[in-house]
Amino acid sequence: MATHVKRAFKYRFYPTDAQAAELSRTFGCVRKVYNMALAVRTEAWTLRAERVNYNTTSAMLTAWKKTEELAYLNDVSSVPLQQALRHLQAAFTNFFGKRAKYPRFKSKKKSRKSAEYTTSAFRFSDGRLTLAKMTDPLDIVWSRPLPKDAVPSTVTVSQDAAGRWFVSLLAEDPSTKPLAATSTAVGVDAGLDHLLTLSTGEKIVNPRHERRDRAHLAKAQRKLSRKAPGNGANRAKARRKVARIHARIADRRRDALHKLTTRLVRENQTIVIEDLTVRNLLKNGRLARAISDAAWSQFRSMLEYKAQWYGREVIAVDRWFPSSKLCSACGTLQDRMPLHVRTWTCEGCGVTHDRDVNAAHNLLAAGLAVSACGAGVRPQREFSRTGRSVTKQETPRREP
């Protein structure tokens, strides 16, 4: 029997003044407990080489609540505070497992404001969600229905920089199950002139979401820069206006990527992409804005978890694979392929290639070959006649 997939269903809600005040207090207490526990664990490891675990920090939390200085921690639900300690434990587990960097302290201004409630700290019935320490349910805008008979296991409340409130309910979704297997496979080449180029020859236009609001964003940022530094009301208002523009851009980008990745996963059994190091590409000052707007990392993340949901396969080809310089017809490797060359003719067989479509064909062939032989998803680096590794050299052109 197939196991149901757990999905997070996110909705916007509008709290009352009392609820907003309660949640703001909870956010502050969550941040305080997380930072104190992180300080204790860091000091123990740095000075005494001791590892402090979740159970120890949980006992410390009980002691902190009994002190006069931290007595205000009793005013909020204890569940989000305990969840903050569990999140810190998970952060250290990932750090010691070399899957993440060392945990950082939460900033009052820059860190995400959120609190997580488990089943003992909320009531959910007939579409009405009531959190601990509250008498009235949240005014949630149910933009899409929850799965039938869904029972949330955790509820996460958050507020973004634009001041919007969101609630995310984690529940099993019986409608999310593997799709019928198909024989179709597609290679996907990421770019900036076109967001994606498929091995089928289709080119998906780059929406350039950030560019549409660039003038408004620049104007709002100039107004913010003129406000006196500090915590004044005018500066806070200007900061929220900038945040709202960023949020509008991010919402459009996320919506477009969801539609695109869902389509690719539904239509193809196997999807081959390139293992791009976006973090390194962002070091290019001329292209950082355009690369960030393209959101290649977010695209890959969505593609991978949706493929897992629906029984599809995503193959990542090594970034050193010379997909743009390799002729997909005869396999001849070109010596050079400047970025301004968008179409080229192979010296070996005379076939004329579109640069991006050719790269997508090569990615598809490499991914399927490696998958078939079971050698993993990343082909070994190929070497040129000089003995040095051949890179794709696919840094995009400067955005016009």
Catalytic residue among 22, 116, 210, 274: 274
Q: How many CA atoms lie within 13 A of 384 on its CB side?
A: 14
The structure tokens listed for 71 are 């007595």
Q: Which of 22, 116, 189, 394 is catalytic?
A: 189
For residue 259, the surrounding DSSP H or E stretch is helix 233-267
- 3-state secondary structure (DSSP) of residue 126: coil
Task: Quote the CA–CA distance of 25 and 133 in Å, as a whole number.
Answer: 11
Amino acid at site 381: R
CA 100 to CA 301: how far, in whole Å?
16
> What DSSP string runs through 81-125?
HHHHHHHHHHHHHHHHTTSSPPP-PPPTTTS-EEEEEEGGGEEEE
Tokens (6 digits) for 273: 């992409």
**What is the bridge-based pairing of β-strands 313-317 and 270-274?**
parallel
Is 267 an active-site residue?
no
Residue 173 annotated among the catalytic residues of the structure = no
DSSP secondary structure code for residue 31 in this structure = H
Is 356 one of the catalytic residues? yes
Which residue in the list 22, 293, 318, 356 is annotated as catalytic? 356
> Sheet holding 185-190: strands in order across?
203-205, 194-198, 185-190, 270-274, 313-317
What's CA 171's distance to the chain center, in Å? 20
Q: How far apart are CA 133 and CA 323, in angstroms?
A: 58
φ, ψ for residue 168, nearest 5 deg: -120, 125
Between 17-48 and 78-96, two packed helices, what is the crossing angle to 10 degrees? 40
Residues in contact with 294: Cβ distance below 8 Å, sequence separation at least 6, in sequence order: 190, 192, 195, 206
- Among residues 142, 97, 134, the alpha carbon closest in space to that of 115 is found at 134
β-bridge mates for residue 159, sequence order: 113, 165
Amino acid identity of residue 288, one-letter, is A
For residue 123, what are its two tokens?
A: 């009531």
CB 387 within 8 A of CB 317: no
Provide the annotated active-site residues.
Answer: 189, 274, 356
